């Protein structure tokens, strides 16, 4: 299958409320945070994995169409499908969602907090109530604070078989980002976490 060209959508993602995307290290520690956010292990800077945004885009497109996103042909073509030994079409995934990193402005603020010995990440206390025993169990969850901007990009790969569908594919990507804006990114969206705004979108 011949690749004709690649397009890239650059954008900024602004946090309107605190964001929690877990690091996978949610072991409860005495006197520590119960659920830390994912960070760059070298710099300590929080970031948004491209897989988190891509997965949310895909899921919400399926909801919007009223279909199973894993079985819908159009969505699977754009976002990829699991290998099927019985029916492997070998169609390459059309989009690549890059990891999102803080903008240069916010990286400077992060370093300033670090130099001043302050925590850039907020620790939000929550309490789980056992409905049977009424026992309260406090826990602390890390969030990237509201207001932080991340730089992101999505690569669209256009193949020969996609002739005439380029604009439709671009519209699908942009629609999925609008759906993310109207929903939430990361964990605990129903409790107000993860409201985002996608700004400064430009194709190149």
Residue with tokens 């999102």: 100
Provide the pLDDT confidence category of residue 27 given band limits of 50, 70 and 90: very low
Pairwise CA distance, residues 111 & 75, whole Å: 40
Residue 137: strand pairing partners:
128
21 falls within a domain: yes
Q: How many domains are there within the chain?
A: 1
What backbone torsions phi and psi does residue 98 show, to the nearest 5 degrees? -75, 155
Provide the pLDDT confidence category of residue 29 given band limits of 50, 70 and 90: very low
CB atoms within 10 A of CB 104: 10
129 falls within a domain: no
Q: What is the mean pLDDT of residues 181-198?
A: 93
Instruction: Give me the pLDDT at residue 133, please.
Output: 72
78 falls within a domain: yes
Q: What is the mean pLDDT of residues 81-99?
A: 75
* Triad 122, 126, 130: Cα angle to 5°: 165
Query: Where are any strands of DSSP class E within the chain?
Result: 3-15, 47-48, 95-97, 100-102, 122-129, 136-143, 149-159, 196-203
43 falls within a domain: yes
55 falls within a domain: yes
171 falls within a domain: yes
Which domain covers residue 189, as residue numbers?
3-120+146-203
Instruction: Give me the pLDDT at residue 104, please.
Output: 97
Q: Judge whether residue 4 has pLDDT over 80.
A: yes
170 falls within a domain: yes
Q: What is the mean pLDDT of residues 53-77?
A: 90
133 falls within a domain: no
CB 95 within 8 A of CB 154: yes
The two tokens of residue 19 are: 């964001």
Which range (62-71, 97-106, 107-116, 182-191) has the least confidence? 62-71
Average pLDDT, the chain: 87
Q: What is the mean pLDDT of residues 168-174?
A: 96
């Amino acid at each position: 299958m011949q690749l004709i060209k690649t397009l890239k959508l650059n954008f900024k993602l602004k946090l309107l409320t605190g964001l929690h995307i877990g690091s996978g290290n949610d072991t409860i520690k005495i006197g520590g945070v119960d659920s830390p956010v994912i960070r760059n292990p070298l710099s300590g800077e929080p970031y948004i994995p491209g897989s988190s945004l891509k997965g949310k885009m895909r899921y919400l497109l399926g909801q919007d169409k009223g279909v199973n996103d894993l079985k819908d042909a159009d969505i699977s073509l754009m976002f990829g499908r699991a290998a099927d030994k019985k029916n492997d079409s070998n169609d390459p995934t059309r989009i690549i969602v890059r990891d999102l990193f803080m903008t240069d402005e916010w990286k400077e603020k992060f370093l300033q907090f670090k130099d001043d010995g302050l925590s850039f990440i907020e620790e939000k206390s929550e309490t789980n109530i056992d409905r049977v025993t009424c026992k309260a169990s406090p826990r602390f969850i890390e969030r990237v604070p509201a207001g932080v901007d991340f730089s992101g990009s999505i690569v669209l790969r256009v193949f020969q078989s996609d002739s005439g569908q380029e604009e439709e594919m671009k519209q699908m990507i942009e629609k999925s980002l609008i759906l993310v804006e109207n929903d939430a990114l990361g964990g605990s969206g129903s409790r107000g976490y993860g409201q985002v705004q996608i700004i400064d979108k430009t194709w190149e």
